[in-house]
Amino acid sequence: MSRPQEPQRSFFHFGNPFRSPKGSHLPPGLLSLLDKFEKTLSERLQKLVPKDKSDILSLSWMKLAMESLSEIHRDIKDLITELEIPVTDWDEKWIDVYLDISVKLLDITIAFTSELTRLNQGHLLLQCVLHKLESNSPDQFLRACSSLHSWREQIRSKNPRVETCRPVLDNLVESLDLPKVRNSAKGKVLMHAMDGAKVATTYICSVFAAAFSSSTDNLLDLNSTVPATLPWAQVFYNVQTTVSTEIKNIFSRGEFTVLRELLAVDNWANKLYPLLQDGFSPAQEESFKHSVSELRKTAEELSQGLDNLSKVVDDFFKIVLSGRDALLCNLRAGCASPNSVLGRNTDEQIVR
């Protein structure tokens, strides 16, 4: 998909950080490492281009997106190892920026976990509804109606943690304007790769924030920050244009959420609710049973999807946290060997 032609406001006040290091007479070995990273980044982004737009913002697509972020951060860890840059050689500004970014990623991941937990708690209400519907008692049906009403209100309520994501996202965008690397060829390669990783991370996090807040206000447009000359640029434009367009289309139809599985449950809840509230005739009994069956099916799919997504969000949190812990540990120890800065477990902080 081609890059949008209309100019957009740049987030960078001091020039674009993606000025290619390939024109800086890098040694062939370093160019090879950077090419390898950028090719892999492009491949990981390509996986996020859905074959069907109906896959966008399904919980399985969101799981894939978060898994891709974890893989990208592990790729950065591998690059640091291959570049053999001792932590003690890191510029102090790089360290400050990285530590600041890692805190922001931990904050936003905690917000996502909070929302996933909140949505999963709603499953208990649905289970209560379904249990009461196993009875033929009109009194139990009324109680089921009340529980279903509580679920509908709960999933439409706002999560304060998610509502604060936008300032964090803006700070992540601003962090792309890293201090320039002047005298280190290895540093130039690392910073260039980290900028690519941060673009992918920031955009995907903005998609999650938009989905969980039910607002396009959190959806970032980073096209203007990514030069078309980068090997992964066209794939990124494609991902962003495809995903952002569909999110905006869903909200333009008046939907309260873009989460596909949640919409499916809500659809059957809306069909069942008036039958419980007003009662139903014998002629409507089959429709009632079908609605109950579909509510049970979609509720289980939602619960399973939320559980799976929660696990990969937690994995990403651990990757960021362990990377931060590794850097701090190695700085305190004054270690002079290549170390993991992103993506190792805390008991594997020393890479080699």
Inside any domain, residue 69: yes
Inside any domain, residue 21: no
| Angle subtended by helix axes 233-252 and 185-213, to nearest 10 | 10
Amino acid at 343: G
Inside any domain, residue 350: no
**Structural domain count of the chain:** 1
Inside any domain, residue 23: no
Check: CB of residue 132 under 8 Å from CB of residue 140. yes
Residue 18 is predicted with a pLDDT of: 54
pLDDT band at 178; cut points 50, 70, 90? low
Give backbone dihedrals phi and psi of 350, rounded to 5 degrees, phi first. Answer: -90, 120
pLDDT band at 278; cut points 50, 70, 90? confident
Task: State the residue for tokens 């978060």.
Answer: 66
Inside any domain, residue 17: no
pLDDT digits (tens, 9 = 90+) for 179-232: 566 667 888 898 889 899 999 999 999 999 999 999 999 999 998 889 999 999
Inside any domain, residue 257: yes
Q: Is the pLDDT of residue 46 over 60?
A: yes
Q: Is the pLDDT of residue 340 over 70?
A: no
Mean pLDDT of the chain: 84
pLDDT digits (tens, 9 = 90+) for 318-329: 999 988 887 787
Q: Is the pLDDT of residue 346 over 80?
A: no
Q: Is the pLDDT of residue 91 over 80?
A: no
SS (H, E, C) the chain: CCCCCCCCCCCCCCCCCCCCHHHCCCCHHHHHHHHHHHHHHHHHHHCCCCCCHHHCCCHHHHHHHHHHHHHHHHHHHHHHHHHCCEHHHCCHHHHHHHHHHHHHHHHHHHHHHHHHHHHHHHHHHHHHHHHHHCCCCHHHHHHHHHHHHHHHHHHHCCCHHHHCHHHHHHHHHHCCCCCCCCCCHHHHHHHHHHHHHHHHHHHHHHHHHHHHHCCHHHCCCCHHHCCCCCCCHHHHHHHHHHHHHHHHHHHHCCCCCCCHHHHHHHHHHHHHHHHHHHCCCHHHHHHHHHHHHHHHHHHHHHHHHHHHHHHHHHHHHHHHHHHHHHHHHHHHHCCCCEECCCCCCHHHCECC
| Percent of residues, the chain, with pLDDT higher than 70 | 84
Inside any domain, residue 345: no
Distances (CA, A) of 145 to 31, 34, 266, 291, 303: 64, 59, 14, 14, 20
Mean pLDDT of 250-277: 93
Q: What does the radius of gyration of the chain's CA atoms come to, in whole angstroms? A: 24
Range of the domain at 207: 28-329
Calpha distance 5→75 (Å, rounded): 32
pLDDT digits (tens, 9 = 90+) for 99-144: 889 999 999 999 999 999 999 999 999 999 999 988 878 888 999 9
**Between 75 and 181, the higher pLDDT residue:** 75
Check: CB of residue 287 under 8 Å from CB of residue 155. no
Q: Which two tokens stand for residue 195?
A: 């900028």
Inside any domain, residue 258: yes
